Amino acid sequence: MNSEQKDPALSIPDFQALIRAMYGEKDVERGVAGTFMWLIEEVGELATALRSGTKEEQEGEFADVLAWLTTIANVVGVDLNKALIDKYGAGCPGCGKLVCECPDSEKP
């Protein structure tokens, strides 16, 4: 790895900051509604890739869905890392266990 390459691991806060730096101005101009439509389009592409795509296509679509979800969080000012810790950091939000014990008939 040369000095200009970054560590291949990317934390959620770092990814959110990266997306904000790359696209933040465009994303705010597009707004939540327009950005949400892009997310839904990418979810559809992920569904197609899961049904009949290659591993490489699936990986690309997962990355796209995560990027657009992160974009929406940036537009509305949600810190994804904080949201994840607050909701899932202590275990399942339903039963509170690290390994979920909720009945299958309930969410999650």
pLDDT at 5: 61
pLDDT at 106: 81
Q: Look up residue 13 and give its two tokens.
A: 């806060």
Q: Look up residue 98 and give its two tokens.
A: 């690290």
Answer whether CATH 1.10.287.1080 is correct for domain 12-77: yes
* Cα(94)–Cα(35) distance, integer angstroms: 30
CA-to-CA dists, residue 91 to 33, 36, 78, angstroms: 32, 28, 21
Contact 71, 23 (CB under 8 A): yes
pLDDT along the chain (108 residues), means of 10: 64 97 96 97 98 98 98 98 97 94 85
Question: In the chain, where are the structural domains located?
Answer: 12-77
